[in-house]
Amino acid sequence: MNKTALKLASAALVVASLTLAGCGSREPAPAPSGSETGSAPAENKVAKIGFIAPLSGGLSALGTGMRNSAQLAVDQANESGAIPGWTLELVPMDDEAKPDVGANAATSLAADDAVVGVVGTLNSGVAQSVIPILDTAHIVQISPANTNPTLTQGADPANPSRPNANYFRTATTDAVQGPVAAKYLLDSGIKKVATVHNKGTYGQGLVAAFTTAYTDGGGEVVAAESIDADASDYTSVVTKIKAAGPEVVYFGGEYPSGGPLSNQMKANGLNVPLMGGDGIYDPTFIELAGSGSNGDLATSVGAPPSDLPSAADFISAYEAKGFAEPYAAYGPMSYDAANAIIEALKVVLPTATDAKSAREAIVEATNSVSFDGASGKVEFDEFGDTITRTITVYKVVDGAWATEQVVNFE
């Protein structure tokens, strides 16, 4: 895949002219210094939308698709003059999928008075570092990919409470994704699974949600293991799992470790499917897993974009831009996240004196955003979660992901 750097295009807005009219006199009013008689130029103000995701490293295939999709939304807003008197800029920041790097990116964006919102992050673990920084600065943040439920509802599922008023997401959570995966396996007659996670916030949360739903449904977890995401040899874990005799291995983590785990399972005689969440739903997983990945499974948030009439314009516009990278798993949600911020800006910025003073009003306006987006209905509940709770089950067939089932979770 071509990885040449994306050249971002800046749109130009027409400069408005102000006509000066005389009052109480037939003589023209004096022209302001430095202007033509009878008119004065008015420059557009600049509002910046930050972007935080991995643009380098193992997860960059997801991050670059997210960035491109957010850029598309910003470009379209500028081209249409969506916010009179204002020009939007996207400011991409590479978090390298690391919480400390993400925190530094958030701090940098918060210090820029022109920043009015942020799209990101990809990783829930990075989000834990980023959200409080942006919340302190009253900057709205909308994630297209974070799925850990605690980010919006707190640590006690029995008593949900929104931790940060500035944080929203266009991706549904593992509280939906885990149970959908569990039901799919149970309905398929799978009664014994082993679980493995990569010790990250996302992976542990996904496995926990899956395990609860699977055991409540009558399934048995015959082994529960973890791996080091930075390791490359998972033989010892595979050996333990194989001895337990699972019919499927359920994995919580991303494809840089999920792909090799699947590969090493088959190489060591554990010839059962690996199933994971949206973190493995990418062609790179199949590349890393090899030919033995046929039959592996993944759930991912949202319906397949090709199935959604509301995604058609996004898909055609993305292709027309000629981006070097595909929009990948989170492109539609990233496009919608950027547009949700833009919808809030349309309400607030026309009467704002400057970007920084508008931040709190933008957060408040985001609560009322509602439109049909590339990923479905874009609207947020009282916790900042998307009201669209659709999960798609995918299966590797002949070396590519194929849709198995689309579930609208009630």
Q: Has residue 321 been placed in a domain? A: yes
Q: What is the pTM of this model?
A: 0.88
DSSP 289-327: H-GGGTT-EEEEES--GGG-GGGHHHHHHHHHHT-SS--
Rounded Cα gap, residues 140 and 342, in angstroms: 11
230 contacts: CB under 8 Å, gap ≥ 6: none
Residues 167 and 203 in one domain: no
Q: Has residue 116 been placed in a domain? A: yes
Q: Has residue 251 been placed in a domain? A: yes
Domains of the chain: total? 2
Residues 288 and 373 in one domain: no
Q: Are 43 and 16 in contact (CB under 8 A)?
A: no
Burial class (CB in 10 A: 0-12, 13-18, 19+), 255: buried
Pairing of strands 274-276, 220-226: unpaired
For residue 41, the model assigns a pLDDT of: 43
Residues 334 and 280 in one domain: no
Q: Are 244 and 265 in contact (CB under 8 A)?
A: no
Residues 50 and 161 in one domain: yes
DSSP 76-99: HHHHHT-STTEEEEEEEEE-TT-H
Residue 202 belongs to a domain with what CATH number? 3.40.50.2300
One digit per residue, the tens of pLDDT, for the chain of length 410 reads 433 333 333 333 333 333 333 333 333 333 333 333 333 345 899 999 999 999 999 999 999 999 999 999 999 999 999 999 999 999 999 999 999 999 999 999 999 999 999 999 999 999 999 999 999 999 999 999 999 999 999 999 999 999 999 999 999 999 999 999 999 999 999 999 999 999 999 999 999 999 999 999 999 999 999 999 889 999 999 999 999 999 999 999 999 999 999 999 999 999 999 999 999 999 999 999 999 999 999 999 999 999 999 999 999 999 999 999 999 999 999 999 999 999 999 999 999 999 999 999 999 999 999 999 999 999 999 999 999 999 999 999 999 999 999 999 87
Rounded Cα gap, residues 97 and 118, in angstroms: 16
Q: Has residue 16 been placed in a domain? A: no
Residues 256 and 216 in one domain: yes
Boundaries of domain holding 221: 174-301+392-408
* CA distances in angstroms from 238 to 216, 234, 242, listed in the order given: 26, 6, 6
For residue 42, the model assigns a pLDDT of: 58
Q: Has residue 15 been placed in a domain? A: no
Q: Are 215 and 243 in contact (CB under 8 A)?
A: no
Burial class (CB in 10 A: 0-12, 13-18, 19+), 160: middle
Please name the amino acid found at residue 394: Y
Q: Token pair of 40, please? A: 């004065």
Across-strand partners of 196?
A: 225, 251
Q: Has residue 199 been placed in a domain? A: yes
Q: Has residue 39 been placed in a domain? A: no
* CA distances in angstroms from 200 to 65, 98, 233, 342, listed in the order given: 22, 11, 18, 32
| DSSP three-state, residue 66 | helix
Residues 221 and 351 in one domain: no
- Backbone phi and psi for residue 98, each to the nearest 5 degrees, phi listed first: -120, 130
Can you list the positions of beta strands (E) in 20-58?
Answer: 39-42, 45-53
DSSP 358-403: GHHHHHHHHTT-EEEETTEEEEB-TTS-BS--EEEEEEEETTEEEE
Residues 222 and 246 in one domain: yes
Dihedral angle, C-alpha 152, 154, 160, 164, nearest 10 °:
-50
Rounded Cα gap, residues 351 and 372, in angstroms: 26
Residues 200 and 247 in one domain: yes
Q: Has residue 288 been placed in a domain? A: yes
Residues 182 and 284 in one domain: yes
Rounded Cα gap, residues 249 and 232, in angstroms: 18
Residues 118 and 200 in one domain: no
Rounded Cα gap, residues 188 and 181, in angstroms: 11
Tell me the residue length of the chain.
410
Residues 105 and 181 in one domain: no
Euclidean distance between the first and final Cα of the chain, in Å?
A: 38
Rounded Cα gap, residues 307 and 279, in angstroms: 21
Rounded (to 5) percent helix, strand, coil in the chain: 40, 20, 40
Residues 284 and 317 in one domain: no
